A and B are shown apart, each in its own frame.
Chain A
Amino acid sequence: MKEDMKYLYWLNSVEGIGFKAMMVLKKYVGSGSDIYHTPEHDLRWFLNERQLTALVNRRKEWDVDGEFEKLKQEKIAFYPYGSPGYPEKLLSLPSPPAALYLKGSFPDANTPAVALIGTRKCSGYGSAMAKQLGALLAERGIVVVSGMARGIDGIGQRAVCGAGGATYAVLGCGVDVVYPPENRQLYEQIERQGEQGGIISEYQPGTPPNAGQFPARNRIISGLSDAVVVIEAKEKSGTMITVDMALEQGREVYAMPGRLVDGLSCGCNRLIKQGAGMIISIEEFVDEILQASKLRLANEIKELKKKAPPAPKATTKEEKLILNFTAEEKQVFSCLDYAPRSLEQISAMNPQISYESLLRILVTFCLRGFAKQMGAGSYYKSDDI
Chain B
Amino acid sequence: MTGITDAAPRNVLVVSDLSVEYRGEKRTTRAVDRVSFTIGPGEAFGLAGESGCGKSTAANAIMRLLRDPAVITGGSILFDGRDVLAMSPDELRSFRWREVAMVFQSAMNSLNPVMTIGDQIMDIFTTHEGMTKKQARVRAAELLDLVQIDAGRLKAYPHQLSGGMRQRVVIAMAVALHPTLLIMDEPTTALDVVVQQEIMAQIGDLQQELGFSILFITHDMSLMIELCDRMAVMYSGRFVETAEAKGLFANPRHPYTRALINAFPPMHGPVAELTGLGEGVRFTNIPDLVEVSPGHLAALDSAGTHDILGGRS
- Decide whether A and B assemble into one complex: no
Q: Give me the interface of B with A, judged by CB distance under 8 Å.
A: none
Q: Give me the interface of A with B, judged by CB distance under 8 Å.
A: none
